[in-house]
Structure formats: structure tokens, C-alpha cells
């Protein structure tokens, strides 16, 4: 197998995160790979909403963030058989062990290994090293019909796939999505692809409500309205069978609980900051058979489903990209995502 050689002195550019307003273009050595590993040149890397959660990121700063990546293999380590130099791939940063109690119970995303694995250094860099475990179960070749920037959506869409599966989504259900940022829009499209009966979306900004309608929501509502009352008006007197909360704040969670129909499910999808609490009246949950569940990340099987949904155009992702920036623009990209105004998806192109 041909392997491209890199000298130990080869230097690459990275976007080093210090905080949301301080992301610096710096240099560091290109990672050296070992047996079973891959070196991947990053062509596109998405800025995730979790990248700008300062309460989560600052303690680990400075570091190179970025986990929604796609690129081309430039070097393959000894023993790598499944992949070759020049192959276009998406690489997943968190992968499970597939052997622990949690994995064997179908809960791969709470596996200790999944929570500790990563690639080196991060996606906002010209190159990453994919460790052997990630190569074994976290690399997805991109079909010719899937672009690099579309490949960056495999990881976030896999999270939505797992979320709706965890929530036991059923075709024909009325789905309410609270928060129409990128996660909410992916959930809207996924629910449509899976056969939802009626999809209703909320947000606090007009820009994102227009986006929700563009990406196949049947009805959009301002989050400032009396959403439960409006739901009953547009859904034949009923609330939503499935409520997906894509805003990790107490008012959104409380609203989600108020909007679920008897026998329905509330999926808390967005991460919430530690210590966030709100009062919960348990009686309606018991009386009305309401399920409250959560979902974190995606497992390898979810990634495979996400790739097929993108390849088949059942979920349209290219149209969600509102900003494309070079590596030097990563700081600007973080500020755009943190502002959560007139943007949906920001893509960083490290080779620019």
C-alpha cells in the first residue's frame, strides 16, 4: 500500500480555542501516526453549537476543537486494510468499546470509551490523526455524490437519529420541535423523512422560523406565543405526540412538558448547563402516561443511517450552510454561532 511520507518537522495551521472571542490561528506539528492509524487532511469542519458552550469548553482550553469533519486520507499506518490513501472520508471523534455493559445493553453513547476517545488534535486544523479505535469503527467513506461539507453533517445527524429512536418515534405522529437552530432543523427533516404526520416548530427569531418552514415544518410558531393553546388549534384539539426540546434552557424545557399529549414523549435533546433545575409536577406524568427521556451523541449504527439519509437526499444538508470560512476565520465563525441570529450552519475550510 502506498503511504505518503511526512517529515517530523512538518508544521500545520490550527485554530486554537481560548474562549468564544479568542480563537487564534497558530502552528503545531502535523501528528505522527502509528500502526492502525490514519492521517486525514481536513477539507471541511462544522462548527457545532456545543463548540461555543463556554461553560463546557473553557476548563479544557487552550485546545483545538472541531468534531464534525470530512477530508481525505493522506497517510495510512501499518496494518490498515479497509482504507487507502486518497480516499474521501468522514471521521467520527467518539467511538464505543462495543464490549462493556452499556454497549451490550444498547447504550453505546454512555460508554466510558466513547466519552474518552477523540482524534488528534481537533477538526479546526489542517490535519488530524485518527487513532486505531476510531479507524476501526468511526471512519465512513464518502460516496462520490456526497461532498466534503455534506459529510460534516453525518455526526450531528447521527445524534438526531439516535434521539428519535430513543424517543420511539412512530410514523404519523405529531412532532413539535422547540428551537429551530441546526439541531432542530435536522430533527424536522428527519421526522419528515421518517413519516411524521404533522411537524410544528418554534423559535424566538423570525430568521429561524423561516428556516424551519423551508426545511419542511408544516407550521411555525413563535416561542413567545401560548404554544400549548396554538397546538390544540392546529392539531385537532390535541397536543404533540413527540416534543423534541432543542434549547437547553429551563423555559424551553417547561414549555415542552406543557405541550405533550397524553401517552406522548418529551425528548430533552439539547445539553443544559450543570446545575440547571426546574420544578417538575410528577402527577401528570403518572396520570397521563407521559415519557421524559434524553439522548446524547450517536453510535456507529446511527452514523451509518445518517450517511444514507444524506446520500439519498432524504435529509437535505447542503442548503443549511450559511457561512463558509477559511481557518483564519474560525474566530468569526465561533462568534456567528454563539450569536445564534442570522445563521444556520458555519463550515470551516482548513485548506483555505
- Chain-wide mean pLDDT for the chain? 95
Return the higher-pLDDT residue of 55 and 32: 32
For residue 215, give the CATH number of its domain: 3.40.50.720
Domain assignment present for residue 3? The answer is no
pLDDT band at 7 (very low <50, low <70, confident <90, very high): very low
Domain assignment present for residue 121? The answer is yes
Q: What angle do CA 3, 5, 10 make, to 5 degrees?
A: 145
Whether the predicted model's global pTM rises above the 0.75 cut: yes
Whether 127 contacts 84, CB under 8 Å: no
**Residue range 139-167: mean pLDDT, rounded:** 98
**Residue range 160-178: mean pLDDT, rounded:** 98
- Report the percent of the chain where pLDDT is more than 70: 97
Q: Are residues 153 and 15 in the same domain?
A: yes
Domain assignment present for residue 24? The answer is yes
Question: Rounded distance, CA 139 to CA 72, Å?
Answer: 11
Domain assignment present for residue 91? The answer is yes
For residue 82, give the CATH number of its domain: 3.90.180.10
Q: Are residues 199 and 287 in the same domain?
A: yes
Domain assignment present for residue 5? The answer is no
**Residue range 146-172: mean pLDDT, rounded:** 98
**Residue range 276-298: mean pLDDT, rounded:** 93
Structural domains of the chain, count: 2
**Residue range 219-234: mean pLDDT, rounded:** 97
Provide DSSP, 169-195. Answer: --TT-EEEEE--SHHHHHHHHHHHHTT
Q: Are residues 226 and 271 in the same domain?
A: yes
The pLDDT value recorded for residue 9 is 65
Question: Rounded distance, CA 303 to CA 48, Å?
Answer: 16
Domain assignment present for residue 6? The answer is no
Whether 69 contacts 129, CB under 8 Å: no
Q: Are residues 148 and 15 in the same domain?
A: yes
> Is it the case that residue 54 has pLDDT exceeding 90?
no
- Report the percent of the chain where pLDDT is more than 90: 90
Domain assignment present for residue 131? The answer is yes
Q: Are residues 129 and 242 in the same domain?
A: no
Q: Are residues 149 and 37 in the same domain?
A: yes
- Enclosing domain of residue 92: 11-158+298-349
> Is it the case that residue 275 has pLDDT exceeding 90?
no
- Mean pLDDT lowest among 44-53, 269-278, 312-321, 333-342: 269-278
- Pairing status of strand 38-46 against strand 68-76: antiparallel
Amino acid at each position: 500500500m502506498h503511504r505518503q511520507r511526512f517529515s517530523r518537522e512538518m508544521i500545520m495551521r490550527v485554530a486554537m480555542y481560548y474562549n468564544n472571542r479568542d480563537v487564534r490561528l497558530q502552528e503545531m506539528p502535523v501528528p505522527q501516526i502509528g500502526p492502525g492509524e490514519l492521517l486525514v487532511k481536513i477539507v471541511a469542519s462544522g462548527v457545532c453549537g456545543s463548540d461555543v458552550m463556554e461553560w463546557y469548553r473553557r476548563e479544557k482550553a487552550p485546545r483545538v476543537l472541531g468534531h464534525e469533519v470530512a477530508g481525505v486520507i493522506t497517510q495510512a499506518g501499518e496494518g490498515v486494510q479497509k482504507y487507502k490513501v486518497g480516499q474521501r472520508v468522514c471521521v467520527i471523534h467518539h467511538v464505543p468499546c462495543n464490549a462493556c455493559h452499556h454497549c451490550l445493553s444498547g447504550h453505546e453513547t454512555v460508554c466510558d470509551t466513547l466519552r474518552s476517545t477523540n482524534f488528534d488534535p481537533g477538526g479546526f486544523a489542517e490535519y488530524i490523526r485518527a487513532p486505531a479505535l476510531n479507524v476501526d469503527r468511526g471512519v465512513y467513506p464518502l460516496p462520490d455524490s456526497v461532498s466534503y461539507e455534506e459529510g460534516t453533517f453525518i455526526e450531528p445527524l447521527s445524534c438526531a437519529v439516535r434521539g428519535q429512536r430513543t424517543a420511539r418515534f412512530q410514523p404519523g405522529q405529531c412532532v413539535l420541535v422547540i428551537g429551530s437552530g441546526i439541531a432542530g432543523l435536522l430533527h424536522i427533516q428527519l421526522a419528515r423523512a421518517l413519516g411524521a404526520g404533522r411537524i410544528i416548530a418554534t423559535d424566538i427569531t423570525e430568521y429561524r422560523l423561516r428556516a424551519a418552514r423551508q426545511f419542511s415544518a408544516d407550521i411555525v410558531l413563535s416561542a413567545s406565543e401560548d404554544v400549548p393553546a396554538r397546538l390544540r388549534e392546529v392539531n385537532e384539539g390535541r397536543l404533540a405526540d413527540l416534543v423534541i426540546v432543542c434549547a437547553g434552557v429551563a423555559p424551553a424545557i417547561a414549555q415542552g412538558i406543557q405541550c405533550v399529549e397524553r401517552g406522548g414523549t418529551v425528548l430533552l435533546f439539547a445539553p443544559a448547563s450543570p446545575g440547571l433545575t426546574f420544578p417538575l409536577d410528577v402527577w401528570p406524568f403518572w396520570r397521563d402516561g407521559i415519557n421524559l427521556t434524553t439522548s446524547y451523541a450517536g453510535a456507529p449504527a446511527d452514523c451509518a443511517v445518517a450517511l444514507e439519509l444524506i446520500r439519498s437526499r432524504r435529509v437535505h444538508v447542503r442548503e443549511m450552510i450559511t457561512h463558509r470560512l477559511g481557518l483564519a476565520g474560525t474566530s468569526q465563525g465561533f462568534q456567528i454561532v454563539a450569536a445564534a441570529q442570522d445563521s444556520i450552519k458555519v463550515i470551516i475550510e482548513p485548506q483555505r
